[in-house]
Amino acid sequence: MSDQPYRRPQADPEEIIKAARRRARAASSRRRSLVGDAETPVFDGNLAVQPAPVETPAEAPPAPAPAAPQRETVVLPRTRPTERTAAKPAPDPVEVPRPAFVGGIVALVVAGIVGLLVLNTVINEDAYHLQDLRTQSGELDQTEQALADELTNLNSPNNLEAAASELGMVKPEKVTYLYLPGGQTVEMPWSGK
């Protein structure tokens, strides 16, 4: 092992600038070939800059530099059409008979209006039915209240006494009380209560 720390190889700025110029030339030639102005063929290859090797001290054996992968250079042939093809005229537009088109549109509008009217009628019919049910519910509530008032009136002590006298009942003169468990009876005069 060497005592010297490992140093990263530094790239040469001039090599970087040259590589950038090569890339720009290749891109512009590609653009020109696509447009049709280029006179030179387009080369596609490895344009990356490899860093310059750093000198290693004499004590350490030089490490073999890894081989950079190389791309195969391909020359793209430039083709130009020998004859210009004549532009074909646009096909004639297809004509739709006017009465059929207008009739279809009118039928569609009429169908939409009829559909809206039917929908509106159904909604209004349900609203009328709901109003009838609410009216009927209010009438039933009033009838229930009237029957409850009549029942309360009939259960009053004065009405019970009048109904008993109509049926022939009379007030007793004496009231007999039975006391349990001995079975004793006690008679008392009726106090009217």
Between 101 and 57, the higher pLDDT residue: 101
Distance CA(163)–CA(125), nearest Å, equals 51
Distance CA(179)–CA(27), nearest Å, equals 127
Distance CA(193)–CA(171), nearest Å, equals 10
DSSP string, 95-160: PPPHHHHHHHHHHHHHHHHHHHHHHHHHHHHHHHHHHHHHHHHHHHHHHHHHHHHHHHHHTSHHHH
pLDDT class of 112 with cuts at 50, 70, 90: very high
Query: How many H-runs (helices) and E-runs (strands) does the chain carry?
Result: 3, 4
Between 51 and 139, the higher pLDDT residue: 139
Task: Determine if the pTM surpasses 0.75.
Answer: no
Identify the pLDDT of residue 115.
96
